């Protein structure tokens, strides 16, 4: 879907790291998203990223990762009940970030908008 919209640089990260050409353990579904990046870890993939779309695990983004993102980043931290990063933590670090969460107790819940 994203590629059909013109997005060119997608880096998929799973529990073992970045889905890239170095990996030999990928199933047919992940092979479709193999990236040409040199990044091996989520921390490396976050550097200069414009968008983070998380559907994974609680609190996996640290301050350094958030600060390393490109200007005006979009962060969709949708893990429930505890997102990858709390919206207030992003707000503390980045005044230029757009943040969406999957939690219904926040005004920026986006997981049910489609």
Digit-coded pLDDT (tens) for 29-83: 999 889 889 999 999 999 999 999 999 999 999 999 999 999 999 999 999 999 9
CA angle, residues 64, 5, 42, in degrees to nearest 5: 20
Digit-coded pLDDT (tens) for 3-20: 777 777 889 999 999 999
- Listed in sequence order, the DSSP H helices in 1-114 are 28-31, 42-46, 63-68, 87-93
CA angle, residues 88, 94, 99, in degrees to nearest 5: 55
CB count in 10 Å sphere of residue 27: 7
Six token digits for residue 15: 């529990």
Residue 110 CA to residue 78 CA, distance in Å, equals 8
């Amino acid at each position: 879907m994203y590629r059909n919209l013109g997005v060119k640089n997608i880096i998929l990260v799973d529990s073992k790291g970045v889905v890239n050409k170095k990996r030999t353990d990928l199933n047919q579904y992940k092979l479709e998203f193999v990236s040409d990046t040199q990044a091996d870890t989520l921390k490396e993939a976050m550097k200069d990223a414009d968008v983070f779309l998380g559907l994974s695990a609680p609190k996996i983004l640290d301050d350094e990762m958030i600060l390393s993102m490109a200007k005006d980043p979009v962060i969709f931290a949708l893990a429930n009940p505890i997102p990858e990063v709390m919206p207030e933590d992003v707000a503390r670090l980045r005044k230029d970030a757009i943040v969406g969460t999957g939690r219904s107790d926040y005004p920026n819940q986006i997981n049910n908008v489609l």
